[in-house]
Amino acid sequence: MAKLSKTEAAIEAILFALGASVEIRQLCIALEMKEDEVIQNLESLKEKYEKDNRGIQIIDLGDCVQMCTKSEHYEKLIKVCKTPKKQVLTDAMLETLSIIAYKQPITKSEIEKIRGVSSDHMVNRLVEFGLVYEAGKLDAPGRPAQFATTEEFLRRFGVESKEALPRLDSDLEAEILHEVEEETGWKFGFESEINGTGGDK
């Protein structure tokens, strides 16, 4: 592969990182060079790409240039893009998802009280995976966001509705709740749910 000059490498880095069209004027400012010098380096870079039969090219778009894939590789790119990404749910994510599923809508701070650790990253990842969404704001100081499970969650786990989620044995749920309260020092007030009285939380 033909060796790139320092300026050509800089242009390549800029175009690759931005991924969109870049005005030649912007390149001139970034490289601290005159327009004709930038254009000369661009043309040299284009020639090297062509000579080395690279899969990328630089195209002109009026006063802008952009790095893009050569058209002969589109078919292969489409195959990759159509391949679904495997989403791996870690134990921590599954734990967080379970809490949201059974206690929704619920805030991040409420999740953290139950888990005993920060859950911000876990919740954000679940949102990215389309399993959880922001269901509204809690009417409390700071208006924290509340989270709930999505239809995608129901499809992925084969559940018709959140009401159809398998119920925990009441004694087991009470035992888990007691252990969590002992570890965290928090009182969650779920006794009415566990005892089936239907009182307020």
pLDDT in tens, 97-140: 888 988 888 999 889 888 888 888 999 999 988 899 999 898 88
pLDDT, residue 75, reads 78
The domain at 91-195 falls in which architecture?
A: Orthogonal Bundle (1.10)
Radius of gyration of the chain (CA): 27
Question: Which residues, at least 6 apart from 72, have a Cβ–Cβ distance to it below 8 Å?
Answer: none
- The answer on pLDDT for 201 being more than 60 is no
Report the share of the chain in percent with pLDDT over 90.
25
Domain layout of the chain by residue ranges: 6-76, 91-195
CATH of the structural domain 6-76, one choice from 1.50.10.10, 3.40.920.10, 1.20.950.20, 1.10.10.10: 1.10.10.10
Per-residue pLDDT tens for 54-105? Answer: 888 898 888 899 998 887 887 777 777 765 666 678 888 888 988 898 888 8
Question: Which residues, at least 6 apart from 10, have a Cβ–Cβ distance to it below 8 Å?
Answer: 30, 31
pLDDT, residue 89, reads 81
Question: Which residues, at least 6 apart from 24, have a Cβ–Cβ distance to it below 8 Å?
Answer: 35, 38, 39, 42, 63, 64, 65
pLDDT, residue 29, reads 93
Q: What burial class does residue 67 get, using C-beta atoms within 10 Å of its C-beta: 0-12 exposed, 13-18 middle, 19+ buried? A: buried
pLDDT band at 188 (very low <50, low <70, confident <90, very high): very low
- The answer on pLDDT for 173 being more than 60 is no
- The answer on pLDDT for 27 being more than 90 is yes
pLDDT band at 169 (very low <50, low <70, confident <90, very high): low
Q: What burial class does residue 100 get, using C-beta atoms within 10 Å of its C-beta: 0-12 exposed, 13-18 middle, 19+ buried? A: buried
Report the share of the chain in percent with pLDDT over 70.
77
pLDDT, residue 183, reads 47
Extract the tokens encoding 100.
């949201």
